[in-house]
Structure 1
Amino acid sequence: MVKIAFISDIHSNLEALERVLEDIKKEKVSKIFCLGDLVGYGPNPNEVIEKIKNENIISVMGNYDDAVGFEKTSCGCSYNPGRETEVGDESLFWTIKVTSKDNKEFLKSLPKKLSLEIESVKILLVHGSPLNHLLEYVKPSTDPERLKLIAKSVEEDIIVNGHTHLVMAKHLYRKTILNPGSVGRTKNGKPGATYLILEIDEGVFSYRFKFVEYDVKKTVEKIVKVGLPIELATVLALGSAYSMGPSKNSKNNLGVFKV
């Protein structure tokens, strides 16, 4: 039996990442994979990248990793016009400014997708979707016809993606699409971090989502101290405005399937 952890969308939140890694250590996993967006929004881009490198966590590229690594003028995010766009731009430009040259090179080197085979189970890792690696939002509300195209576009049994910050599990056309949510900027309506545990045993896989609390106040104080927009701190303090996602007492956050 192989146990794997998947994390995503850390967004420069060192406190959340460290707490999640502590929790993962208790799970005694064989390997940790990341679905991208190591940086952006938060106050510790360099520290997060160094932690990922030091822990030998294999990651695919997220849209923020791409934008910061290549010093782009946009992260490609789906912002609403006005203040939301302004906050996103301020976050991107600040992160580009403070991220070291070596760490930008690391971000640029990340693959846009990664295919694995573990005990006869094939897994595709991508930040957005197999059809748009960096930018497509695959949400619980995504049109079924679009999900059908995504599922049929890959030979892998499981697609693990990030980008939306929303925990998701979809099963269609003998494929499973999983999203671990976000470590550093959750959108489930509760301050904290989420990640995914996948267990594989002779072609049978099961999964569960985990919610972890961390020192949100410390991260918020850092955001204010470095001069990032206060709205970024508010999102962490509120856990965004979304009501869906895993909770400590959820009975609907796991599944068992056979390939």
Structure 2
Amino acid sequence: MMKIAFISDVHSNLEALESVLEDIKKENVDKIFCLGDLVGYGPSPNEVIEKIKKENIISVMGNYDDAVGFEKTSCGCSYNSGRETEVGDESLSWTIKVTSKDNKEFLKNLPKKLSLEIEGVKILLVHGSPLNHLLEYVKPSTEPERLKLIAGTVEEDIIVNGHTHLVMAKHLYGKTILNPGSVGRTKDGKSGATYLILEIDKGAFSYKFRFVEYDVKKTIEKIVKVGLPIEHATVLALGSTFNMGPSKNNKNDLGIFKV
């Protein structure tokens, strides 16, 4: 039997990552994997990357990892026009500026997908979707026909993805799609962090989602100190995004299955 933890979308939030890792230790897992987006939005990109390295956590590449590693002008995110776009661009620019050369190299070399086979269960890890590794949002509201197409493109039994910051479990067309939500910037409506534990035993698997509280105030204080847009702090406090308005410039679910 193997017990695996999946984390995603840490987004430079060291306090959230450390709290989640502490919770994972209590769960006695055998291995930890990450679905990408180690950086962006938050105040501690280098510290988060160094922690991921130190803990030997294998990660696939997220769109923010790609944008920061290759110093791109856009993260490819689905922002609303106006202030939300400005805030995202400011965050990306700041993160590129402060992230070390060595850590950018680390981000650049992350794989865009990873396929595992554990105890007879095949698992695909990807940030977005099998059809668009970095950018596609597979949400609870995604149309059934799109989900059918996604499920039909893979041979794996389980797809574990991130990107949406929303906890999700879908079982369809003989496949299971799981999203652990977000460690560093949850959008599930409650301030904190979420992750996923998958337990596999001889072809059968069960899963559960974990919610973890962390020192949100400390992270918010860091955001203010380094000069990142205050909207990022508001998202952490609310546990969800909100309508940022026009530009300021005026220019624990459970499941048990058998493969």
TM superposition score normalised by structure 2: 0.96
Q: Aligned pairs, how many?
A: 250
Percent identical across equivalent pairs? 89
Q: Distance in 2 between matches of 1:146 and 1:217?
A: 39
2:185 counterpart residue number: 185
Residue 75 of structure 1 corresponds to which residue in structure 2?
Answer: 75
Corresponding position of 1:196: 196
Provide the secondary structure at the position in 1 that maps to 2:211: strand
- Between the aligned partners of 1:241 and 1:60, the Cα distance in structure 2 is 24
Once the two structures are superposed, what CA deviation does each residue of 1:18-69 show, in whole Å capped at 9, x if it has no partner? 0000000011111000000000000000000000000000000000000000
Aligned twin of 2:63: 63
- Show the counterpart of 1:135: 135
CA root-mean-square deviation: 0.7
* CA distance in 1 between partners of 2:111 and 2:196 (Å): 21
Partner residue, 2:105: 105
Q: 1: distance between equivalents of 2:162 and 2:254?
A: 18
State the partner residue of 1:88: 88
Residue of structure 1 equivalent to 2:123: 123
Q: Structure 1 CA distance, aligned partners of 2:207 and 2:131?
A: 24
Q: How does 1:1-259 map to 2 (within 5 A)?
A: 1-241=1-241, 250=252, 253-259=253-259
Deviation at 1:174, TM superposition (A): 0.6
Write the distance in 1 (CA, Å) between the matches of 2:169 and 2:240.
20
Instruction: For residue 240 of structure 1, report the CA deviation from its aligned partner.
Output: 1.0
| Residues 188, 241 of structure 1: 8 Å contact kept | no
Distance across 1 between alignment mates of 2:188 and 2:81: 23
Aligned partners of 1:138 and 1:241: how far apart in 2? 17
CA-to-aligned-CA distance 1:167-215 (integer Å, 9 cap, x gap)? 0000001100000000000001110000000000110000000000000
CA distance in 2, matches of 1:2, 1:43: 34
Cα deviation 1:52-101 (Å, max 9, x = unaligned): 00000000000000000000000000000000000000000000000000
TM-score (norm: length of structure 1): 0.96
- C-alpha spacing 1:227/1:161, structure 2 compared with 1 (3 Å): same
Instruction: Detail structure 1 runs of 4+ shifted over 6 Å in the superposition.
Output: none
Q: Distance in 1 between matches of 2:161 and 2:70?
A: 22
- The aligned amino acid for 2:35 is L
5+ unaligned residues in a row in structure 1: which ranges? Answer: 243-249
1: distance between equivalents of 2:240 and 2:31? 29
Runs of at least 5 residues in structure 2 that lack an aligned partner in the other structure: 243-251
Task: Determine helix, strand or coil for the equivalent of 2:16.
Answer: helix
Q: Deviation at 1:241? A: 4.8
Q: Deviations over 1:117-148 (max 9, x none)?
A: 00000000000000000000000000000000
Q: Match of 1:157, as an amino acid?
A: D
Deviation string, structure 1 residues 213-237 (Cα, Å, up to 9, x no partner): 0000000000000000000000001
The one-letter amino acid of 1:16's match is A
